[in-house]
Copies of this chain bind each other. A is one copy, B any other.
Amino acid sequence: MSEKIYVYSFEEGKGLGKELLGGKGSNLAEMVSLGLPIPAGFTITTETCDIYYKNNKTYPVEVDQQVEAHLQALETKMGKKLGDANDPLLVSVRSGAAASLPGMMDTVLNLGLNDESVIGLATKTGNERFARDSYRRFIQMFGDVVMEVPHHDFEIALQSVKDKKGVKLDTELETADLQEVVQLYKAVVQKATGKLFPNNPREQLKMAIDAVFNSRNNERAIIYRRINDIKGLLGTAVNVQSMVFGNMGNTSGTGVCFSRNPSTGENKFYGEFLMNAQGEDVVAGIRTPAEINTLSEVMPDCYNQLVDIYHKLEQHYHDMQDMEFTIQEGKLFMLQTRNGKRTAAAAVKIAVDMLGEGLIDEKTAVLRVQPSQLDSLLHKQIDNQAKKAAELLTKGLPASPGAAVWQIVFKAEDAHEWNENGKKVVLVRVETSPEDIQGMVAAQGILTARGGMTSHAAVVARGMGKCCVAGAGELLIDEKAKTLTVKGKTLHEGEYITLDGSTGEVFAGSLAVVDPELSGDFETLMKLADKYRKLWVRTNADTPTDAATAKRFGAEGIGLCRTEHMFFAEERILAMREMILSENEEGRRKALAKILPYQKGDFYQLMKTLEGLPVTIRFLDPPLHEFLPTEDKDIQALSTEMGVSVETLKAKIASLHEFNPMLGHRGCRLVITYPEIAEMQTEAVISAACELKKEGVDAHPEIMIPLVGFKSEFDFNAAIVRKVAQETMDKYGVQIEYKLGTMIEVPRGALTADEIAETAEFFSFGTNDLTQMGLGFSRDDAGKFIKEYVEKNIFEKDPFQSIDETGVGQLVKIAVEKGQKSRPDISLGICGEHGGDPASIDFCHRVGLKYVSCSPYRVPIARLAAAHAALNNG
């Protein structure tokens, strides 16, 4: 029986994979196998860590023996010895699990320094100050992460020396001072731990290895794994690697480089370097690094070698590489390579370029661009330079992306009026309501003090592709005085403001913005996504304009047309109010007859725009009180307009008041009280379709009944729709293929989907409301405490942004299974805000939905996310 191997040198690691060696160890082994110049070292396997935990934090003596053997081999190879007083071998010790595990112990550098070897380092680098500083940093780092000495204690000691010397910066300390700091640090360690700081480098190494293993189960790491749902990891590997130095004179240096431009994606070597410097000098920004191409002049051999290497690495990893290198006395060492982070534009270009170069295949190209990244490509952006110089007023939620830079107004009617006068405005409200729709249409951007990511303002703004920052809680808005105040600064009506809807930032004044540009590469990528996705992508659109935008972005139908938004236009709202205020059915019918031609016209335009693609029309959903005014002034005006006394109006408004409108008299419940509403809406939909058909335009309306919890509710509504639809078709002498289905947005609706599917032809999951009711979170109120939930790790993620798979997802799953049991060919889709969220789209794919529907500007995101879902789930 051969001895079990716990430790592999980098040379031995090729192909053993990151499960055994961790990501970092595996990467280093790969680079060695490519023949690249890597500082030598070895990796202790993740299995060892697993054994460590399974054996009460001990490991077999063979591990120590193998580490010692590899260490000796390393010493031999490097011609240096750990702790040597002349030319010491120094090593770094790093953790590295199969998946990235932030929160774990990361790095101990310069291990091997002690009172003797520090002199060797000084001699070798010719820089005593550097050596002494390295030593005191090592003690601090080791003390902190390995020996768990409070970081603060070291700070106090360091400060005492600076105070004594009368200096402010660490860099002002001289060699002697640093020697004093080292002494103080050792005392700190002894006081905190009751132990001497280990002078023996081999003891240092063993302690560091154990510390890496222990940190796998520290609190931060556990929380991180929980949040990111990382399970079943064996443990972490430990990498021990010899140190190299870029600050050993003018033939040494260090740098960071990318195989392509991470900002634009251009296929051109990119990066920067500093001669005679360590990595931390680049980060600190004290000296300005040089562009990478100038290295070809300074050290042409190294440069050429580097170019060779980056090509090799791209070929090997089939992706753009982000690399770190150090040149020690003219010799190039690669310290790290990894797939580089990039902007959205770069991601698209690199994916399409690499596909063209034959470096990756289509599926890989599609998977190379994160769907959520696309968002920034589709909207105007604040110029980054301008932002850096600007004054940040406050921050709200990034409710709808893009930038808006305009004058502020505080009332919807002002927005409308200013807009009529040719001025562009940002509408600032405490919160918006459907009454504000006209103003929101007129405004270029919307800023609210209250409400979350799925508040009225957020949802409507996203639908319009309009920039919105919601729930900026620090804002004090005085609607009467028409001012907003934040942190003591007050802005008046007409002053300029800049919103960044992608970050939630709000700036005073007007900042420069840059336009989005959709490249041909973007189109190419989208076409590839379409090729691989299984889910259809529809859009949530209430107007022909929105619908046309969405179609341009590739929408394959309308998944949600909210008809109530059509009731708010000036000439319609009056008829709507007349209906609400009617005392009897006759009065309501009279008022509805006035609305009918408008609705019919809306549907006609919408279905004409969609040219035969399915158009899902949701019948009236909100409670009626949303259509009535709330402010005295408006009530007064309505009273005059309608010839109804203010008292009567107020009484009616009071009688319609609801404690929890979310759970009140709305959706299909309205029709049970007022069947004539559904009659009018059905007539509008079907006659519009009939007229189009007569004109030779195909129309496929899908009538959707909202808020169904009982089959009997659906059936009551459905009977009206079927009757009126047939009458209307008879009238026109035309047959329309329409579908009749329901939203599944009430938990009971999901739980009784088998019953409902007996008569409903399709389900569209309204996951906004399903989340609200399933979790008991009012989206308009939860904003106040949801932050706390995220901070205290109660939520893994905001369930209004990404579908809560365990809870709400379970309801969706139940409904899918039960619905398909009753009606195997039932059409299943989602039209909640989750329809535009990549993680939720992945869920929709897995659970077997047929389509997702999202706001027009998220259609490309959904298309790509759907492709990812198809590719990732095999």
Contacts and interface: CB of A to CB of B under 8 A. Distances in A.
Given A792-B716, A811-B747, A785 B665 contact: yes
A496 interface: no
A587 interface: no
A27 to B, nearest CB: 35
Interface string A772-808: 1111111011101100110011110000000010111
Interface stretch (A369-377, A389-397, A656-664): A656-664
Q: Contact residue range for chain A?
A: 35 or more
Interface in A802-821: 804, 806-808, 810-811
A708 to B, nearest CB: 10
Contacts of A769: 776
B663 A807 contact: no
A306 interface: no
Contacts of A789: 672
A712 B778 CA distance: 19
A794 B748 contact: no
A433 to B, nearest CB: 10
Nearest to A712: B794
Given A659-B780, A747-B774, A806 B712 contact: no
Contacts of A745: 776
A472 interface: no
A414 interface: no
A773 B785 contact: no
A406 to B, nearest CB: 28
Contacts of A752: 806-807, 810
Contacts of A56: none
A388 to B, nearest CB: 33
A792 B672 contact: yes
A746 interface: yes
Nearest to A651: B476
B748 A804 contact: yes
A251 to B, nearest CB: 56
Nearest to A810: B751
Nearest to A774: B747
Contacts of A772: 660, 663
A319 B302 CA distance: 107
B747 A781 contact: no
A116 B663 CA distance: 67
A568 B784 CA distance: 25
A672 B794 contact: yes
Interface in A708-730: 709-710, 712-713, 716
B781 A663 contact: yes
Contacts of A14: none
A659 B456 CA distance: 12
Nearest to A714: B794
Contact of A785 (B673, B748, B792): B673
A846 to B, nearest CB: 18
A529 interface: no
Nearest to A771: B748
Interface string A359-398: 0000000000000000000000000000000000000000
Interface of A: 658-665, 669, 672-673, 707, 709-710, 712-713, 716, 745-748, 751-752, 755, 769, 772-778, 780-782, 784-785, 788-789, 792-795, 804, 806-808, 810-811
Given A664-B778, A710-B795, 13 more contacts: A660-B661, A660-B662, A660-B778, A662-B776, A673-B785, A709-B776, A716-B792, A746-B775, A747-B776, A748-B775, A751-B774, A773-B774, A773-B776
20 contacts: A658-B778, A659-B778, A660-B661, A660-B781, A662-B662, A662-B778, A663-B773, A663-B781, A665-B782, A672-B794, A673-B788, A716-B792, A747-B747, A747-B807, A748-B774, A748-B775, A748-B806, A751-B774, A752-B806, A773-B773
